[in-house]
Amino acid sequence: MTVFAELAGQEAVVAQLKSAVAGAMTHAWLFTGPPGSGRSVAARAFAAALLCPYGGCGECPSCRQVHAGTHADLRLVRPEGLSYGVKQTRELVLRAAGAPSGGRWLVVLFEDADRCTEAAANALLKAIEEPAPRTVWLLCAPSAEDLVTTIRSRCRVVTLRVPPSSAVATVLAERDGVDYDKALAAARAAQGHIGRARRLATDPAAAARRAAVLQVPVRSASLGPALAAAATLVKTAEDEARSVTEQLDEPEREALRLAFGEGSTGKGIAKAMRGMAGAMKDLEDRQKSRATRVKRDTLDSALLELAAFYRDVLMVQVGADIELANADRLDDLRRLAGSATPEATLRRIQAVMRCRERVTLNVAPLLAVEELTISLMQG
């Protein structure tokens, strides 16, 4: 199984990347596509293929190290906060200026490059304009327009599409052993987002959280239930975010303690412990910033699920013959479709999108979602 096997439904992209590995290279690439299309998956597969002596076999130590993020010639950047600052970018540029330790390339894989501040983007631009001879930059962003013109004009753009549900289901069935019908239902619910589809198919808690989100349209019939639905939606998003961050936080703290020799004895340990206090404070600050980002992203995902639900309601109302993301809730879709006009459903979709924008602008999540559920109630 090659490194490109996980790119479900992206045949044109795979062909483009394989051609580059064979010789049609450039020093800067921009991977774009909607959430769930596999931007970072494609970038990491490309990095593995560039660093693999066999062009991306998926089995050799090099491919496994890239997959784990531990390859000596891979610089993996994942912004954990709401933004990525100029100081961090300058440090990255310095790390990217060296030569590869053993292979042809030194690869910098920058996920969510659109989170760069303006000053950080300027620092990044200088590195891309004058790259080290054997350094390859792989940037990921939802769209090319999310990066400044001067950066995207210097990159070869790779555009991924939302993969078909059947392609995602096939990956889940073959790689994760999920029953195909269950995998297909999860892929439809996740709207082609392979990571979310995997969670829905394999994690009962994730499926339960989705069910709670999709109760909001049903419960938003009068003021009391609408406000209660808002509180439930926000709490559901917070619970999911907490589940994600807790899995990351403690291992990081434990690794830091081990690095500073906590529990050891001997000369210099007291000084090391004093240094650990400052390092631990920096780590906690970064973890808090990441938690804020994860909460916002998780709530946004829940709101997108609501938008998809009302989109399905609209498709039922107009009799469109297309695949429904929420086919497993057909009774609810039909009930809401019969109780409102298509115009009212469009207004509800607009209300959901307006709520997403307000959360992005730092409106208190509960206030923004309460306003949304009242709008859903009123139609």
pLDDT digits (tens, 9 = 90+) for 5-50: 888 888 999 999 999 998 878 899 999 988 778 899 999 999 999 9
DSSP lists the bridge partners of residue 109 as: 76, 138
- The Cα 30–Cα 12 span in angstroms is 16
Domains 11-159 and 223-245+285-378 equal at CATH topology level: no
3-state secondary structure 144-199: HHHCCHHHHCCCEEEECCCCCHHHHHHHHHHHHCCCHHHHHHHHHHCCCCHHHHHH
Q: How far is CA 84 from CA 110, 287, 289, 338, 373, in A?
A: 11, 14, 11, 47, 33
CATH of domain 11-159: 3.40.50.300
pLDDT digits (tens, 9 = 90+) for 215-243: 888 888 788 988 998 998 898 888 878 88
Weakest-pLDDT range from 16-30, 109-123, 269-283, 335-349: 269-283
- The Cα 196–Cα 189 span in angstroms is 9
CB atoms closer than 10 angstroms to residue 45: 26
Average pLDDT for residues 267-281, to the nearest whole number? 63
3-state secondary structure 273-325: HHHHHHHHHHHHHHHHHHHHHHHHHHHHHHHHHHHHHHHHHHHHHHCCCCCCC
Q: Considering Cα of 283, then 285, then 289, then 292, what sign does the dihedral take?
A: positive
Question: Residue 191 above 90 pLDDT?
Answer: no
Radius of gyration from C-alpha coordinates of the chain: 23
Average pLDDT for residues 294-302, to the nearest whole number? 86
- The Cα 197–Cα 289 span in angstroms is 26
Return the percentage of the chain with pLDDT > 70, whole number.
Answer: 95
194 close to 8: Cβ distance less than 8 angstroms: yes
Q: Which residue has the tokens 């990491």?
A: 44
What global pTM score does this model have?
0.72
Q: What is the pLDDT of residue 355?
A: 95
Provide φ and ψ at 139, rounded to 5°.
-105, 145
Weakest-pLDDT range from 82-86, 181-185, 312-316, 324-328: 82-86
227 close to 216: Cβ distance less than 8 angstroms: no
Average pLDDT for residues 200-229, to the nearest whole number? 87
pLDDT digits (tens, 9 = 90+) for 310-349: 999 999 999 999 889 999 899 999 999 999 999 999 999 9
Q: What is the pLDDT of residue 27?
A: 92
Span 223-245+285-378 CATH architecture: Up-down Bundle (1.20)
Question: Residue 269 above 60 pLDDT?
Answer: no
DSSP lists the bridge partners of residue 31 as: 140, 158
- The Cα 100–Cα 72 span in angstroms is 8
Question: Residue 290 above 80 pLDDT?
Answer: no
Q: What is the DSSP letter of 327?
A: G
133 close to 78: Cβ distance less than 8 angstroms: no
SS3 state at 31: strand
pLDDT band at 272 (very low <50, low <70, confident <90, very high): low
219 close to 190: Cβ distance less than 8 angstroms: no
Q: What is the pLDDT of residue 298?
A: 85
- The Cα 201–Cα 8 span in angstroms is 17
Listed by start position, the domains of the chain span 11-159, 165-218, 223-245+285-378
